[in-house]
Structure 1
């Protein structure tokens, strides 16, 4: 039985960490399967994941082959069974959409040919530019149901509750992504009819008539007015269409789950894959959360998982991944854990140009951060490459294959198409083995948090569809995109993490916002914000909440109507916007508690007049107009920064401390470039997670709420290295009080460590006798014993501590 309880994945009652590798059985010869599974086990993974390509298994309607009758490599049942025989769990991903560089995104050609009405029409009646469909079109659902019937006939006898190894089923893949990237909403007649019905349920008739000055009941009029909206109602349509599509996606996922359960799939979680990273960054990822959170939020038996395509995790990107995990967690129910359904690994050579070369730390760093933040399932995508077979009934499209990448596929994977590991494999495997050595512990640990949460506003990312002919929408989109991520992530979020803050996120749009639960809120704010949300923030401040606002103080609601509730609460009256130009170079000067600081050049500032209770601390050079305020509001306080500023770690630390949030886990390294956090179990076991994001060694001391850790000893974190150091961890009949070395294996009579220092030490408390060794010496320290390594980590980094029988 697989259960999702208390942010854990429990298999037969036991919490587990699931680390998968994606292996596409259909892209390998059957006699290659075992070799790739052997390499997966060598890496330390305990599960296999694979898509099931409808395009390949049912080239002709009604001729479904999932048993390898036509091609041995199409034997899905045989592959799952081989994974079982190797002691590996299986994560089933049957689509209908799978993407995976497959033609038609994995859907059969006959589906489009027989049912052309499923292909969406978008803005101005233009046909879809991507291979998407109307998910709820009856013809598509009927065909998808039959596909699920065939797949479940193979999967259900192999589900873990039925004695098999299938532990999860993903429903479709990256739902809504194709419409987003093409800015092409699904505006088929079926959708428009359903949308009109939804509008009549949401709005009273009188309000609806004012909102949309056309006859929603007349199909021809409605179609023209929605596909080509006028400026007067374009913002309202954008808002309504976004909210409606969230519910539509949820109905689609419910339908797929219904098909799976109808054909016997029960007792395993259903997964939803969230898309959105692009260009090696995470700025657009929350668009996927915004689109899909209604499909899974708080629903029993659901997992949501990220699509992580970052490449290197470095000083540019580390805050992106941290925020993505936080935002996902904010949208989960109380029991739903974090997961990653596609976790980018390999060397980045996607175009087979030997370019975009990733550092060996890439997959290791991302895994360490994700596990520290509570990811319980991670699927390495793509673990191994393979080949795209020829279709039996292919098209004259240049190659006749099932995918558009040519014959070879997955050249960037850690295991290439021919089965050879590339240079990234050893480091990736080392990180996996470190996690799996303590999997039972990290599977239940929670990240320790400081008294601050990062605000998440889903509607700020509800920008997947914008009517290009609307100037109002162009202005709103530009403002939202400028304030919801980029500068704010790289300034405030990065500064907070470098200052040592460990924080989650809060869905302030949909969930209650209470000072007792969120003492301090870090808020990226645009000039647009929903009226109800502005009121919620004002109430939060009046009741004793504290806000660090970076960006702009809203002046409009989400339909571009004037709305200054939050601004009025803060005691600020809008004055002007200042943007740099060819002959204008605005600069910010600090005063009050923010001084002394050097003048800082800015490219944008929003200035205000203080009406009451607001003390300026930023002004524009020359004009003296204020763009930073410390505001007393009711029983709360707000520090407001409305000029683009530099990543001033000290400034953001000072601001948060003034609001009542102090970083608990800190270091004294002046070069920065370090990410650190900590996790704890209910019985007090802890791990300290450290990443050195730079290409040079760093020496530091660690402090926990001001108290020096490791007896004040300096630690050196090697260039591009990550460590997970145990504190109070029980293992092999001992308690590891503290260790500068990382646990790599726990046996009945031994502990294996990865050394990280010139001279590591491990403090143990145990009644067992430690066996002597030439590799270490043992010192008695009261009730504890200290094992001091006699090996230098850069010469030989493995140390095995044995216990006598």
Structure 2
């Protein structure tokens, strides 16, 4: 039995934090399968994930081997049996698309070669450059049915609902990704026929002709021919409408796969993967990840489907770590509210050996995501291997800088991951009950990320939106807030639900000159009902179809005099702040920012309805720390400040529960150790003790956490990575990071024991302070039962 409830996965009645690794049985000698599964488990994992590549198992049409008749590495049945025997959960991912660095991305080459009519088409009528199929083509779906029939028959006995280990079933992989990266949607005839039906069902004759300025009688020609080379008069409206249609198109494809799998006995929750991190030279960014969210926005509404992110940040550092924070916030905003934040492909390595990923990157990315509430991590890849029978897109080798090499050796970051996995085992029971505390919310507007394709007429608009969101949101305000430990989540503005000020007292909204009518009205209602809206860096005046719409502007009641590029502004008392752009307003009332040259207003505050608008008409791509400081001042104007006070620049977040305590997460993204005392809500933490945070790592520290029913940690400065209980002995293993580790423990049953490195001080009845002074990397706190300790005394 598996349940998804209250942001938790519950397997056979036990609430679990999924901590898994991708292990491809088809790339590892079958004789090594059990060993690899055990090595994944040894890292503290409780789940094995694997793709099931259609191309490998149906090597020629009609010949499907899933039991190893033609090659031992095709024996999916035995692999799933071994996973079950080793007590691991399993995520199966049988496509039809798997990507996985496989030729034709996992769809059999024979299918693409033999059925070219089912391949996606470019706007010029050529086969799509990635050879991706047309998702809804009947010939493709017919062959998928045959594949699902065979593969589901093997998986079914191993479902957790049948006493097995398979708890999750992924549907396809990274749907829509190929169309985005090539700027080529699918113009296959079957897709365009769907689009024609979409237009006929959505628009009346009057609405169609008003929107697209084309006679209704030409709707079929419009949808199936003119879409390939739009006229300027309707290009923006058509690009927007086709993007909205494709969201529905992807949803229908996933719904088809889900219904097909359910008919074949798959009665566990389903997973859909979101793509989007991208490479810039030797670094990676997540600024385009929400494009994948936007593409799969409608898919996220399907019942019993978990949305899961692909997180590949490269070597994480100060300048890109907030991309992951935004990825977490935006994913949570659109996913099923009962599901945990989950990454089904959490960076465990990289297909290329350049850049070399450092162990610290795996440490920091994992800690950061757990701090943000992630209760499911699956490292891709976890085990390297070999591409048999020429299925590899990059040749024979599939090393992936994985924690386990192809011959089973443990890479340095295996031990980094293992430490976190062991910690999660110790604290899982209470940690899973906690949720992140947040200070503010961003409005997530998915249509600002519906920029996966453009034509010559719409390129200017999509480029502008992408440039501004990268500069003013990702590199600007969102980064400035998080690096100053103002913690945020996000809300999906396309939800049907209104924005309630009691639930969202402060909303930060990045805007462009484009915003649809219903979203503008939603923001007006939010202000009318008492919300506090921080709008930046412009007031929208057009819809996403590029036609005038001034609902919000008219409600604000302030005229825009013009715009300035690359100039300086004074914000409150801070002068000479460099900007990329400014919007100039015809008002003096409530002004708090002015251009330096002629003192024109660039930001103002105004009471509207029962609420407050803070209009920050300043766009800054933050290249200077003082720009971050100006955003902290802006937050203060909105009544927001960090809950934390500290002496060094560190990333802080806290997960908390009224009944299960709190966990403080501290991340140091810099190349030098830092020292700090910490205050939370004006109160000192850890008895006011100064903490040392080593370079390029973090700490997960418990506060008032019930470690067991008979042992509570009031606080601890070190990380507990193992807890062993044997008869009348209890032992906690500690990773040493402080010159003097300090734990305050409360128990009516257990008394900590001293040794040469461990000092015990009794603070009160049943409460003890334990100090550890050691030059070792690890130490242990040993406990004796109260009765035994008393008899010794």
TM-score range, shorter chain: over 0.9
Q: Secondary structure at the match of 2:255?
A: helix
**Structure 2 counterpart of 1:396:** none
Which residue does the alignment assign to 1:308?
Answer: 311
- Matching residue within 711, 717, 720 for 1:743: 720
d(CA) in 1 for partners of 2:235 and 2:554?
Answer: 27
Q: Given the alignment, which residue of 533, 549, 556 partners 1:570?
A: 556
1:754-797 CA distances to partner (integer Å, 9 max, x unpaired)? 232110111011112223333311111124533333324x6433
191-200 or 647-656, larger mean C-alpha shift: 647-656
Aligned residue number for residue 791 of structure 2: none
Structure 1: gaps of 5 or more residues: 391-400, 581-585
1:771 corresponding residue in structure 2? 753
Paired residues in the alignment total 770
Q: Which residue among 333, 357, 363 is the counterpart of 2:336?
A: 333
The answer to whether the aligner puts 1:718 opposite 2:694 as a matched pair is yes
Match status 1:509 vs 2:494: yes
The range that moved more, 744-753 or 407-416, is 744-753
Give deviations 1:618-670, integer Å, cap 9, x for gaps.
22221333222223222222222222334534432332233233322x13224
Is the contact between residue 326 and residue 505 of structure 1 (CA under 8 Å) also seen in structure 2? yes
Looking at structure 2, the residues matched to 122 and 620 of structure 1 have their Cα atoms a distance apart, in angstroms, of 48
1:379 alignment counterpart? 378
What's 1:583 paired with? none
Q: Distance in 1 between matches of 2:580 and 2:640?
A: 29
Give the SS at the match of 2:411.
Answer: coil
Q: 1:734 to 1:403 in 2, by over 3 A?
A: same
Report deviation, 1:214: 4.6
Q: Distance in 2 between matches of 1:220 and 1:567?
A: 37
Q: Superposition pairs for residues 148-297 of structure 1, below 5 Å? A: 148-212=148-212, 213-214=214-215, 219-220=220-221, 222-266=223-267, 268-279=268-279, 280-297=284-301
Deviation at 1:55, TM superposition (A): 0.6
Identify if the C-alpha distance between structure 1 residues 161 and 219 changes in structure 2 by more than 3 Å, giving closer, same or farther: same
TM-score by length of 2: 0.94
Is the 8 Å Cα contact of residues 195 and 223 (structure 2) preserved in structure 1?
no
Cα 1:153–1:599 change in 2 (3 A) is same
Cα 1:705–1:222 change in 2 (3 A) is closer
Cross-structure match for 1:113:
113
CA–CA distance in structure 2, aligned partners of residues 389 and 253 of structure 1? 29
Work out which of the residue numbers 598, 603, 609 in structure 2 matches 1:628.
603
Deviation at 1:216, TM superposition (A): 5.8
Query: Which moves more between the two structures, 780-789 or 737-746?
Result: 780-789
Compared CA separation, residues 371 and 624, structure 1 to 2 (3 A): same
CA distance in 2, matches of 1:803, 1:135: 63
Question: Equivalent residue for 2:651?
Answer: 675
For 1:658 and 1:632, locate their aligned partners in 2 and report how far apart those are by CA, in whole Å: 13
Pairwise CA distance, 1:278: 0.5
Partner Cα distance (1:700, 1:568) in 2 = 49
Q: Gaps spanning 5+ residues in structure 2: where?
A: 789-793
How much has 1:222 moved relative to structure 2? 4.2
433, 454, 458: which one pairs with 1:466? Answer: 454
Q: Give the 3 Å change call, closer, same or farther, for CA 222–692 of structure 1 in structure 2.
A: closer
Aligned to 1:32: 32
Q: Structure 1 residue aligned with 2:764, among 782, 791, 798?
A: 782
Mapped partners of 1:778, 1:417: distance in 2: 47
Match of 2:739 in 1: 758
Change (3 A) 1:496 1:801: farther
Residue 660 in structure 1 maps to residue 639 in structure 2 = yes
**Aligned residue number for residue 410 of structure 2:** 421
Report the Cα distance in structure 1 between the residues aligned to 2:15 and 2:468, rounded to whole angstroms.
39
Q: Deviations over 1:208-242 (max 9, x none)?
A: 12333155667556422111111111111111111
CA RMSD in angstroms comes to 1.9
Aligned pairs (5 A) from 1:370-769: 370-390=369-389, 401-450=390-439, 452-467=440-455, 469-470=456-457, 473-510=458-495, 511-580=497-566, 586-590=567-571, 594-595=572-573, 597-610=574-587, 614-645=589-620, 646=622, 647=625, 648-664=627-643, 666-670=644-648, 672=649, 674-732=650-708, 733-748=710-725, 749-767=730-748, 768-769=750-751
Q: Return the TM-score normalized by structure 1.
A: 0.92
Aligned to 1:324: 327
Q: CA deviation at 1:4?
A: 0.7
Tell me, in whole angstroms, the C-alpha distance in 1 between the residues paired with 2:125 and 2:38. Answer: 52
Deviations 1:442-485 (A, max 9, x none): 223211222x1011001111111212x21xx1222122112223
Q: In 1, Cα distance between the equivalents of 2:724 and 2:58? A: 48
Q: Name the SS of the counterpart of 1:123 in structure 2.
A: coil
Q: Do structure 1's residue 803 and structure 2's residue 788 form an aligned pair?
A: no
Q: 2:269 touches 2:306 (CA, 8 Å); kept in 1?
A: yes
Shift of 1:696: 1.0
- In structure 2, the CA distance between the partners of 1:120 and 1:737, relative to structure 1 (3 Å rule), is same
Deviation track 1:306-352 (CA, whole Å, cap 9, x = no partner) reads: 00010222211221111111111111233122110101123x5x434
